[in-house]
Structure 1
């Protein structure tokens, strides 16, 4: 019995250690996250809409469409003047995430003049750096699924942006569960990148 308790304690400690960066990101961003349609957001320079999967026929995946819809909701509420559509201009399948995002935003009524494509946003950190350096933004409302926002906001804050986070309605499905699980190693990667940048800077 004592042996089982000791093993359980070690497993709990390992689990806590594995989840530490994700827990930190969640705790330090929770006040600035909320649903895109109803959240109490402050006005920002732009909505930073993060890329996701595109189907072979050019249609956005459900998660990607939801991210664009979240950005459009902020735009329609008058919280942002611009949607920055950031993702891979050529992903692993050779498809342009930002083109699919632009078509979706146009279909939802956002004029082309208020859309900016960033095809160099191959990951969340790159999107944050591009928003700061290439576009000169100081504040953003990041648009992604709820499980992704803590890490995305943490990365944005680490490069000097003032971030908030807006998410679409939460879907209870397999991909959502996978997204939560994926955030554990992804948050460790983000933590390593942030520490490396501070050391080098």
Structure 2
């Protein structure tokens, strides 16, 4: 009986050590990127102050990366994705960067985040030549890796929700991309508490992934962000 108690105590100590390590990694990822989130959009009018717009415009970014999210069965963007698109398009129209890079999941014929994002941007008046599509942005890791390796981005503004910004910007740092965040938080999203918990695990996972640095699911030929986006839409 005493042996089992000793084993259980050792296991409990290991669990505490592991939990502390994972929470420490999570905090490291957050703190490393916290200062690079330069604006937060928190109302449905997509209000961005002139000060924030000027700060982002002064970075001379190559593009605005809008990270994909759920598309509904009817082919419309979810609230989360629409909020990201609205902020990205507003920044583009304000001159914060000359191109939009729309990165999402298009791994199945019946599920296509990327072309839904493109159509939304076109409807809002963004010229087709300024829209770049990353059809293989199956994860945050893949989107960031491909931004540099395929689209040859050196500097960019990342648009996603605030809780997701830290992991995305941490990945940019590891990939050698100068990046700044614009947080799209115009809505209180259902299930956000559970999403926040999952994000802790996702930060830990990507921390390890950036240490190992495997290639993303797909790479492919270079499509420089400095050119026309039409090639990426074929």
Same fold by TM-score greater than 0.5: yes
Judged with a 3 Å threshold, the aligned counterparts in structure 2 of structure 1 residues 171 and 178 are, in CA distance, closer, same or farther, namely: farther
Shift of 1:197: 2.6
Residue aligned with 2:132, SS:
strand
Cα drift, residue 13 of structure 1: 6.7
Aligned-partner Cα distance in 1 for 2:193–2:172: 24
Query: In the alignment, which residue of structure 1 is the partner of 2:21?
Result: 17
Q: Which runs of 5+ in 1 are unaligned?
A: 1-8
Equivalence for 1:4: none
Separation in structure 2 between the aligned mates of residue 46 and residue 119 of structure 1, nearest angstrom: 17
What's the CA shift string for 1:99-130, capped at 9, x where partnerless?
Answer: 11111111222111111111011111111121
Q: Which residue of 2 aligns with 1:48?
A: 65
Judge conservation of contact 1:148–1:179 (CA < 8 Å) in 2: no
> Matches of residues 1-201 of structure 1 in structure 2 within 5 Å?
16-33=20-37, 34-35=39-40, 37-38=48-49, 39=52, 40-41=55-56, 42-90=59-107, 94-197=110-213
Distance 1:78 1:122, change over 3 A: same
Q: Distance in 1 between matches of 2:26 and 2:187?
A: 20
Going from structure 1 to structure 2, the CA distance change for 1:170 and 1:27 (only over 3 Å counts) comes to farther
1:157 alignment partner, SS class: helix
Give me the TM-score of the superposition, normalised by structure 2: 0.74
TM-score, with length taken from structure 1: 0.85
1:154 alignment partner, SS class = helix
CA shift for structure 1 position 30: 1.5
Of 22-31 and 45-54, more deviation after overlay is shown by 22-31
The secondary structure found in structure 2 opposite 1:179 is: helix
The structure having more radius of gyration, on CA atoms, is 2
Deviation at 1:12, TM superposition (A): 8.0
**CA deviation after TM superposition for structure 1 residue 10, in Å:** 9.8
Do 1:141 and 1:165's aligned partners in 2 also have CA atoms closer than 8 Å? yes
State how far apart, in whole Å, the 2-side matches of 1:147 and 1:190 are. 15
